């Protein structure tokens, strides 16, 4: 039933995306009783995920396209790089 901190962080990551099994989640919660560092990692990881999801939603709502001039400038730069 015991898992290492490395296994705990892997399960934490899997859990965030719904890929962790019930048994893994139980093992993770038991590990949290013994390891405050992994518990803190999970809290911070969840916070970062929430921040990222909030930011990515606002990015998806805003469409950004290059102007004709920007496209031409980009093409010229890419042509310079070609060997």
Q: List the domain boundaries for the chain.
A: 5-81
The whole-angstrom separation of Cα 21 and Cα 24 is 5
Position 31 scores a pLDDT of: 95
Which tens digit of pLDDT belongs to each residue from 46-74?
Answer: 888 888 877 776 666 777 788 899 899 98
CB 3 within 8 A of CB 12: no
The pTM is what?
Answer: 0.62
């Amino acid at each position: 039933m015991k898992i290492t901190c490395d296994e705990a962080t892997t399960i934490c990551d899997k859990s965030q995306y719904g890929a962790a099994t019930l048994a893994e989640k139980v093992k993770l919660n038991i590990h949290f009783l013994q390891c405050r560092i992994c518990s803190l990692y999970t809290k911070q990881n969840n916070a970062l995920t929430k921040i990222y999801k909030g930011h990515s939603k606002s990015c998806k709502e805003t469409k950004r396209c290059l102007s004709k001039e920007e496209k031409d400038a980009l093409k010229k730069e890419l042509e310079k790089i070609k060997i």
